[in-house]
Chain A
Amino acid sequence: MTDATVHQPSASASKHAHSLLAADARTRKRNAAERRFRMYGIAAISVGLIFLVILLFTIIRNGIPAFTQTYITVEVELPEAKLDKKGNRDIADLKKVSTFGYAPLIDNAIFTKVQELGIETPFEKPKKMRSLVSASAAAQLRYMVLENPALIGTTVEFEVLGSSRVDGYMKGRVTRDSVARDKNIDAEHFDIVDAMAQDGSLARIFNWAFITGADASESRPEQAGIGVSMIGSFFMMLVVLGLSLPLGVAASIYLEEFAPKNRLTDLIEVNISNLAAVPSIVFGILGLAVFIQFMHLPQSAPLVGGLVLTLMTLPTIIISTRASLKAVPPSIRDAALGIGASKMQSVFHHVLPLAAPGILTGTIIGLAQALGETAPLLLIGMVGYIASNVPDGIAGGFLDPNSSMPAQIYEWSKRADPAYYERAWGGIIVLLLFLMTMNIIAIILRRRFERRW
């Protein structure tokens, strides 16, 4: 290079190019396209967010009332003459008094309260008070007495579960007009409700029974809870986790690290991807045919539900596990093999720990999917079954008929009484809380175990 070939840069540049201070046409066009693309993205995300907000708002507004319930606190007299005629507190004799013996006691207690408060009412008989309380109230009182016979002969303070109409009135779902043709309750009852609410003996309190309780019959929505189906879901998730995690991870490790690449493994790979796309109801009918009709496992059992959901979750777990195994750089495998580690040592000592966060996230997301799945449960009888008993013991948990949270929600949403509609929304909130917790756990695990290489 000689001096003669060196030009003054500004002299030559001004001939060929525009000033850098003003964008040329091409750059302007490119920038406009970029801005437009950004706008599309923002618009898409905004639409999504708006829908999410509407969804959450609706769910919370409709579901929150399910978490409170109206109770009437009254002093209930438990006369020995009615409950224990022989007076010897023999539990066998006590059991002979049915709920029909207890219901009038509650009626009387409320009627007394009404008179004490000086509430004006056209009703003259205590029996008329029965519309205010849940049909289950007498059973609860009886249960309390049988648990503790010493109460007989005393007067106890008892929180009577209000009827669903009273509860609905307190929540604004039921109005005086809407009960005009309701034979269960009269508008005059609401005068009592208003007065008692003012007095404080009738109040909406936090509804633990909804979270811990069992489903109830069509006519007593005030008693229904999601607790037992939660247990059903829990046992199903145990089955799903216990089967699909080890099976899925073992299958993925084998396919990804050990299996020869040939026609057969290609076929398996294609099939796994296809399985992930199979509608879940198909797994339900498969479960019905195989687990119930062929293997004679009990119907409506969380074990069967879990098996069906395992079939559904396996492809998800296998696909995500393989993806995270693939993401481990091959140089790590080479490094281990290069210093004389066996294939298995290299996989278990080096590859698997690096893939673990991905595997865990995939598993939790698979579980969350399974937790919210309803369709396959339709076919194995977990929908429509009224889960009214808490299963006793572990074996019972797996084998006794039960429901699951989404199946319970589906069941409630089918029932006529609007009180159930409210409970369905409440159940959705519980389910969403579970799903959110699981997703948060997935994120935390990911953050904690993720390592750079």
Chain B
Amino acid sequence: MYDVTRDSDVDTKATKLSARNVQVYYGTTHAIKDVDVDIEDKTVTAFIGPSGCGKSTFLRCLNRMNDTIDVCRVEGTIQLDGEDIYDERVDPVQLRAKVGMVFQKPNPFPKSIYDNIAYGPRIHGLAKNKAELDEIVEKSLRRGAIWDEVKDRLDAPGTGLSGGQQQRLCIARAVATEPEVLLMDEPCSALDPIATAQVEELIDELRQNYSVVIVTHSMQQAARVSQKTAFFHLGNLVEFGETGQIFTNPEDPRTESYITGRIG
């Protein structure tokens, strides 16, 4: 039913992020219920599920972006390379430099395209001089599949780009800080098929070095880019396994009805 191209090279990877018994509450709303997930290094993991099931919420737990929401409470343990990221000694700022994020809605800074990309490397001291910074900017924009469109107007404001271009700019910005894990919340929802293909290519390339977690509403996309897929439903992790397995032979009836379009 879905064209699953890559599979079965996943068993040997080390675990990058592991979540155990994760509960998330927004005030009294129980948004994530008892989720266990292992996200492997050098792997693309897709989160799928109907709208409002908690994909974004869970994703935001992985780099503690939920800390910024006052009513949000996270329980359970999430470990990055074996270290608990919710330990009180952990500085979330340091964590987020390692676990980057691309948001559902493109949100470039109202600054020049160049400064959008250069901001992360600057605050993390990744470039020693202007030449190095220029290099990082160019490399990141190329990886974001947007270099050719903006190379002549790096001084133009990033907010002046089209929606899809803005999203690729945000991807380039996230990549520029060289995170170890990249969290992407529906990165292609504002993109045309060509840009989508470029981003998917980028994700595939990133997989060589990083682990990528992508939330998507497109089954085809999940099937194309991911090696592992997690299906969420009403705050529960219903099924988690190899993408090929989930799409061709799901164990849970809810998964099956979702991917065949009966719930959602």
Binding site for B on A (CB under 8 A): 260-261, 329, 331-343, 345, 349-350, 354, 451-453
Q: Does the CB pair A334–B94 fall under 8 Å?
A: no
Q: Size band of the B side of the interface?
A: 20 to 34
User: Which A residues are in CB contact (< 8 Å) with B43?
Assistant: none
Report the nearest B residue to A261, measured CB to CB: B70
Q: Would you call B105 an interface residue if the criterion is a C-beta within 8 Å of the partner chain's C-beta atoms?
A: yes
CA distance A335 to B117 in the complex (A): 12
Min CB gap B91→A, angstroms? 9
Q: Are A354 and B110 in contact (CB under 8 A)?
A: yes
Residue of A nearest to B104 (CB): A331
Given contacts A260-B70, A349-B119, contact A335 B108 (CB under 8 A): yes
A338 CA to B98 CA in the complex, in Å? 10
Contact partner of A350 (CB less than 8 A), chosen from B109, B124, B157, B177, is B109
- Contact yes or no, A345 B123, CB < 8 A: yes
**Contact, CB under 8 Å: B63 / A331:** no
Q: How far is the CB of B189 from chain A (nearest CB, A)?
A: 15
Q: Which of A335, A336, A342 has the most CB of B within 10 A?
A: A335
Instruction: Please indicate the chain A residues that have their CB under 8 angstroms from the CB of B94 in the complex.
Output: 340
Distance in angstroms between the alpha carbons of A338 and B102 in the assembled complex:
8
A339 adjacent to B100 (CB under 8 Å):
yes
Give me 5 A-to-B residue pairs in the complex whose CB atoms sit less than 8 angstroms apart, sorted by A's number: A336-B109, A338-B63, A349-B123, A452-B110, A453-B159
A340 contacts B177, C-beta separation under 8 Å: yes
Q: Report the minimal beta-carbon distance from B185 to chain A, rounded to whole angstroms.
A: 10
- B63 to chain A: which residues have CB within 8 Å? 338
Give 16 new A-B contacts, CB below 8 A, not counting A331-B105, A340-B96: A260-B70, A332-B109, A333-B68, A335-B103, A337-B93, A338-B174, A339-B100, A339-B101, A339-B119, A339-B174, A339-B177, A341-B120, A342-B93, A349-B119, A349-B123, A350-B109
Of all chain A residues, which has the CB nearest B175? A339
Contact B107 A335 (CB under 8 A): yes
Residue of B nearest to A335 (CB): B107
B154 within 8 A of A: no
Contact of B97 among A333, A340, A451, A453 (CB under 8 A): A340
A334-B68 CB under 8 A given contacts A340-B96, A340-B97, A349-B119: yes
Given the known interface contacts A340-B100, A342-B93, A452-B159, the answer about A335 and B123 at a Cβ–Cβ threshold of 8 Å is no
Contact A339-B110, Cβ < 8 Å, known A261-B70, A331-B105, A334-B68: no
Residue in chain A with minimal CB distance to B94: A340
Tell me the bound Cα distance from A247 to B58 in angstroms: 39
A342 surroundings in chain B (CB, below 8 A):
93
Are A335 and B177 CB-contacts (below 8 A) given A345-B123, A453-B159?
A: no
Contact assessment for B170 and A335 in the assembled complex, using a CB-CB cutoff below 8 Å: yes
Chain B contacts for A333, CB-based, 8 A:
68
B197 at the interface (CB under 8 A from A): no
Using a Cβ cutoff of 8 Å, how many contacts connect chains A and B? 71
Quote the shortest CB–CB distance from A264 to chain B (angstroms): 14
CB-CB under 8 A for A340 and B120, given A333-B68, A452-B110, A452-B159? yes
Q: Does B90 contact A (CB under 8 A)?
A: no
Nearest B residue to A330, CB-CB = B68
> Which residues of B have CB within 8 Å of A341?
93, 119-120, 123
Nearest opposing residue in chain B for A341, CB measure: B123
B residues near A, CB below 8 A? 63, 65, 68, 70, 93-94, 96-98, 100-103, 105, 107-110, 119-120, 123-124, 157, 159, 170, 173-174, 176-177
B contact residues around A345 at 8 Å (CB): 123
Q: What chain A residues lie within 8 Å of B177 (beta carbons)?
A: 339-340
Closest residue of B by beta carbon distance from A354: B110
Bound CA span A453–B110, Å: 6
Name the residue in B93, B98, B176 with the highest tally of chain A Cβ atoms < 10 Å from its Cβ.
B93
Tell me the complex Cα distance, A331–B119, Å. Answer: 16
- Distance in angstroms from B227 CB to nearest chain A CB is 24
Contacts A332-B109, A345-B123, A452-B110 given; does A338 touch B101 at CB 8 Å: yes
- Chain A residues positioned under 8 Å from B103 (CB to CB): 331, 334-335, 338
Give CA–CA (A349, B103) in the complex, Å. Answer: 20
Q: A334-B68, A349-B119, A453-B159 are in contact. Are A339 and B107 (CB under 8 A)?
A: no
Identify the 3 closest CB pairs spanning chains A and B, nearest first.
Answer: A340-B97, A331-B107, A338-B101
A349: which B residues are within 8 A, CB to CB? 119, 123
Are the C-beta atoms of B65 and A334 separated by less than 8 Å?
A: yes
CB distance from B247 to the nearest CB of A (A): 30
Nearest chain B CB to A175's CB is how many angstroms away? 66
The residues of B that contact A329 with a CB separation of less than 8 Å are 107
Report the separation of the CA atoms of residues A341 and B96 in the bound assembly, to the nearest whole angstrom: 8
Please give the distance in Å from A162's CB to the nearest CB on chain B.
Answer: 61
A339 and B159 contact, Cβ closer than 8 Å, known pairs A333-B68, A452-B110: no
| A310 CA to B107 CA, complexed, in Å | 38
In the complex the two chains form, what is the Cα distance from A187 to B107 in whole Å?
A: 80
With a cutoff of 8 Å between Cβ atoms, the chain A residues found around residue B120 in the complex are 339-341
Question: How long is the Cα–Cα vector from A450 to B176 in the complex, in angstroms?
Answer: 28
A451 pairs with B107, CB closer than 8 A: no
Q: How far is the CB of A215 from chain B (nearest CB, A)?
A: 50
Q: Is there an interface contact between B124 and A340, defined as CB atoms closer than 8 Å?
A: yes
Nearest-neighbour CB distance to chain A for B154, whole angstroms, equals 18
Contacts of A261 in B (CB 8 A): 70
Quick one: which of B70, B93, B98, B109 contacts A335, CB cutoff 8 A? B109
Please tell me if the beta carbons of A339 and B65 are within 8 angstroms of each other in the complex.
Answer: no
Q: Whole-angstrom distance between the alpha carbons of A332 and B96 in the complex?
A: 15
Give Cα A396 to B242, complex, Å. Answer: 80
Q: Are B110 and A451 in contact (CB under 8 A)?
A: yes
A260: chain B residues at CB < 8 Å are 70
> Which residues of B are found within 8 Å of A343, using beta-carbon distances?
93
Within 8 Å by CB of A340, from B68, B93, B105, B108, lies: B93
* Bound CA–CA A339/B176 (angstroms): 9
Which of A334, A340, A354, A452 lies in contact with B107, CB distance below 8 A? A334
Task: Return A118 CB to nearest CB of chain B, in Å.
Answer: 78
Residues of A within 8 Å of B68, CB to CB, are: 333-334, 337
Report the bound CA distance from A347 to B38 in whole Å: 34
Return the chain A residue nearest B159 by Cβ.
A453
Shortest C-beta distance, A380 to chain B (Å), equals: 43
